[in-house]
């Protein structure tokens, strides 16, 4: 069981959303929540406070009479539940709820305890509100997407429950749950935050780490297949540069490739003084997609680490408006809901995952082009050349998917469009950035699945099963349990999808 208290790490966050670890709230959380709520209730009685007794956005100049204040909150939720497009995935929504819950639990939002209690129950019971991908500009928070969460919390809207899309009211009756109580500004506290973009961002971060892990494994396997020299990932070469990511990737390669019978040492082949050829048959240096792995994956690794730092800070921040500060007995108006931090990190993550996809596509092309590798049959075709096609058709898919990632990598962070009667005159587009980043990540898994199948075919073509490292042999056996060695032509799309799922569902294995 994971208990929310002072600080939620990304590792704890991931266990709750991916491993279904049960969530609980500490006594300290309940105490903070009660103190914040009671302070706001007393403090707001004779003062003008945005979202408590005023309209919203550009209509904040309008005073709301006391008898209408509660209805105002319901009006906000219903009017902004206007999303459209594809529903977010259950894991993305679960992450968004947890991110919002953790932010509200800090005691800066003035909500009553029923809000936290019901959000906790949604997480623990796998009840997933229907939230759409389109709707947020990421400035006054994820207003539209979080309105769909708030809609469920007041007992309206729809949820996904046990694999079915159902009315919230029906599911609450089945589970014995009651809607939250709106008492002061619960709707605004729920909606004015960065929790959807941040929750999706955490999912993106987890999947990006898997992609990087697999890219290292695949790159090592290609080094084995071509019997590359080992000095390009040596400690000496890579420590002559000061970048930590590069050093880490090179170290992983050295560990991964221990025991391989295919990797060559340069001093045993080219430093003996016995080479007298005018034209060397074997390559003196490999193509960049094989030789420059630490330099290419290093900045990707560093970027993923930086994204993690910002995400962890954001999920542990108060990101609504205004902020209720019990310590100073004051309410502060500002813009903590603005999603620029997450927008920028999602753009950066999207960019490096596209580069990783490009590396995978170039490595795939190397394996398929016999004129380049001078080692394998064209398209790693194990059948009859001209009659069979090997991986030829799959390359088109990998190339087109890589091209889509390149197109999707245009920045959202710099594409602000004023809206809300120009009240929101500069926005983050952080929600769009996070959603597009998730698409780029999914595409990357598809390209990598095609490359992994091709690698397995290459190992069989060269009969290297007993020469590859133990680490390569481990995943090779997994792939062969999914897809058999094929000599004749196969319908590949079911296999590609199965291998894609294998990659997504795999556990991180640090080597």
Q: Which two tokens stand for residue 233?
A: 């990932």
CA angle 91, 397, 353 (to 5 degrees): 50
| Residue-wise DSSP of 331-373 | EE-S-TT--HHHHHHHHHHHHHHHHHHHHHHHHHHHHH-HHHH
* Cα–Cα distance, 461 to 380 (Å, whole number): 7
Please, what sign has the CA dihedral across residues 154, 156, 161, 163? negative
287 is an active site residue: no
Q: How far apart are CA 344 and CA 479, in angstroms?
A: 36
Label residues 7-37 b or e (16+ Cβ within 10 Å = b). ebebebbbebbeeeeebebeeebeebbeebb
Catalytic residue among 50, 229, 288, 495: 50
Is 195 within 8 Å of 319 (Cβ atoms)?
Answer: yes
Contact 348, 307 (CB under 8 A): yes
Question: Which helix (H) or strand (E) covers residue 330, if one does?
Answer: strand 330-332
- Separation of alpha carbons 474 and 452, rounded Å: 13
The catalytic residues are 50
């Amino acid at each position: 069981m994971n208990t929310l208290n002072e600080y939620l790490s990304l590792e704890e966050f991931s266990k709750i959303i991916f491993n279904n670890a049960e969530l609980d709230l500490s006594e300290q959380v309940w105490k903070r929540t009660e103190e914040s709520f009671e302070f706001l209730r007393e403090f707001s009685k004779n003062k003008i406070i945005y979202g408590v007794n005023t309209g919203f956005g550009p209509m904040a100049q309008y005073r709301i009479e006391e008898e209408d204040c509660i209805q105002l909150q319901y009006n906000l939720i219903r009017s902004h539940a206007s999303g459209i497009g594809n529903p977010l995935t259950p894991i993305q929504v679960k992450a968004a709820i947890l991110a919002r819950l953790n932010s509200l639990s800090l005691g800066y939002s003035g909500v009553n305890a029923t809000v936290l209690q019901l959000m906790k129950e949604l997480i623990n019971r796998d009840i997933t509100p229907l939230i759409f991908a389109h709707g947020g500009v990421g400035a006054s928070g994820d207003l539209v997407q979080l309105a769909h969460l708030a809609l469920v919390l007041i007992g309206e809207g729809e949820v996904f429950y046990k694999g079915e899309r159902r009315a919230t009211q029906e599911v609450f009756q089945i589970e014995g749950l009651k809607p939250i109580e709106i008492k002061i500004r619960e709707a605004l506290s729920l909606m004015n935050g960065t929790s959807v973009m941040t929750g999706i961002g955490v999912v993106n971060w987890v999947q990006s780490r898997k992609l990087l892990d697999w890219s290292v494994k695949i790159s090592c396997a290609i080094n084995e297949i071509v019997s590359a020299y080992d000095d390009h990932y040596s400690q000496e070469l890579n420590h002559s540069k000061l970048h930590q990511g590069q050093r880490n990737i090179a170290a992983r390669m050295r560990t991964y490739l221990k025991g391989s019978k295919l990797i060559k040492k340069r001093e045993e082949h080219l430093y003996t003084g016995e080479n007298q050829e005018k034209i060397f048959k074997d390559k003196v240096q490999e193509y960049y997609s094989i030789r420059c792995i630490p330099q290419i994956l290093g900045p990707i690794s560093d970027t993923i680490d930086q994204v993690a730092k910002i995400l962890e800070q954001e999920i542990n921040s108060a990101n609504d408006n205004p902020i209720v500060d019990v310590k100073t007995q004051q309410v502060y108006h500002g813009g903590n809901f603005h999603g620029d931090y997450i927008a920028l990190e999602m753009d950066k993550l999207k960019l490096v995952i596209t580069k990783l996809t490009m590396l995978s596509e170039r490595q795939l092309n190397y394996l398929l082009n016999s004129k380049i590798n001078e080692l394998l049959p064209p398209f790693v075709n194990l059948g009859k050349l001209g009659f069979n096609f090997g991986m030829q058709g799959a390359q088109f898919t990998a190339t087109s998917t890589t091209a889509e990632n390149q197109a999707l990598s245009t920045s959202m962070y710099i594409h602000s469009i004023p809206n809300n009667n120009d009240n929101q005159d500069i926005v983050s587009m952080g929600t769009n950035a996070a959603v597009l980043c998730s698409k780029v990540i999914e595409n990357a898994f598809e390209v990598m699945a095609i490359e992994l199948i091709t690698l397995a075919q290459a190992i069989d073509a060269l009969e290297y099963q007993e020469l590859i490292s133990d680490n390569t042999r481990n995943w090779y056996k997994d792939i062969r349990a999914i897809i058999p060695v094929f000599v004749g032509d196969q319908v590949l799309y079911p296999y590609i999808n199965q291998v894609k799922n294998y990659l997504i569902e795999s556990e991180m294995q640090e080597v």
